[in-house]
Structure 1
Amino acid sequence: MNADSRPFPRLAPAAAPGSPLWRRLAVPAGLLTAVAAAFAYVGAVDPNEPGHYPVCPLYRLTGLYCPGCGGLRGAHAFVHGDLLTALRDNVLGVAAYLGFAVLWTVWVVHAVRGRPMRLDPRPAHLWGIGALVLVFTAVRNLPPGGWLHP
């Protein structure tokens, strides 16, 4: 498989390298606006109060925690600056927030410089992320992993 046939798209600049800076930053700014709005909503509407958000369907049907269980509570705590509670609610979610922040920052730097950024994870990276999520899910549902319960 050559580099051009990979399924992952190039990110920024959305416009040609010679285009104005505001145009190169429009897509990353739009994505940041959407993510900030989602975090603002979760920060304002407390997921710890019943009735605001639906219960996880996997947890409701089986009593098992999925990898996302506790994610809204963790995001709420993260928005309010309570990092320890956010980590307790969903450590994988906090890692994803920080990973997003790093990738977004690199994307913006590339856009400012007028260079495209290509997300091109190798299959081993994708399998590794999948294995991490699977192990996290399994451990949090076993008795010794009780500390990972949301």
Structure 2
Amino acid sequence: MRAVLAPLGLAVAAGAATLLVALVDPGEPGHYPACPFHTLTGLYCPGCGGLRAVHALTQGDPAAALGFNPFVVIMIPVVVLLWGRWALFSWQGRRDAGKVINPAYVWAFLGLMIVFWIVRNVPFGEFLAP
């Protein structure tokens, strides 16, 4: 039972954060800090629009969520799947529970994130800006 405390703790923290974003609209000024990268450079980081995307999802508006940050929307099911695998491995007491992600997938994720970051900041990728 002790092995599942980490996945359960993360689930509780993520659930609390999601509840906060659901209840406090990130589109309203003054509730959340501005993105420091965007403030300093005027460019969008891969996470810009992510809070608004999560808020839109919690309000039942997936189209708006995709408009704010499609990368975050697409990655949410992937993260949930990986969390579920980690929780299952922990529950089963497997020694490899902490190694649920193949390093190749991590590199692929980082590569996609960098491509998304670049494309959303060039003229032909304006549709990806929040």
Moved beyond 6 Å, runs of 4+: none
- Report which of the two has the higher share of helix: 2
In structure 1, stretches of 5+ residues that fail to align are 1-21
1:41-98 C-alpha deviation (Å, 9 max, x unpaired): 1111100001111111221222111111001101111122211111111111122221
Q: TM-score, normalised by structure 2?
A: 0.87
Q: Normalized against structure 1, the TM-score is what?
A: 0.77
Letter in 2 for 1:130: L
> What are the ranges of 5 or more consecutive residues in structure 2 without an aligned counterpart?
none
Aligned to 2:105: 125
1:145 corresponds, among 122, 125, 128, to 125
Larger radius of gyration: 1
* Pairwise CA distance, 1:33: 0.3
Say whether residues 1:82 and 2:54 are aligned partners.
no
CA RMSD of aligned residues (A): 1.7
Matched residue type, 2:42: G
Q: Does 1:29 align with 2:13?
A: no
Which structure has more relative contact order (CA 8 Å, sep 6+)? It is 1
* Amino acid corresponding to residue 121 of structure 1 in structure 2: N
| 1:81 to 1:103, Cα distance in 2 relative to 1, 3 A | same
User: Corresponding residue for 1:100?
Assistant: 79
Q: Report percent identity of matched pairs.
A: 45
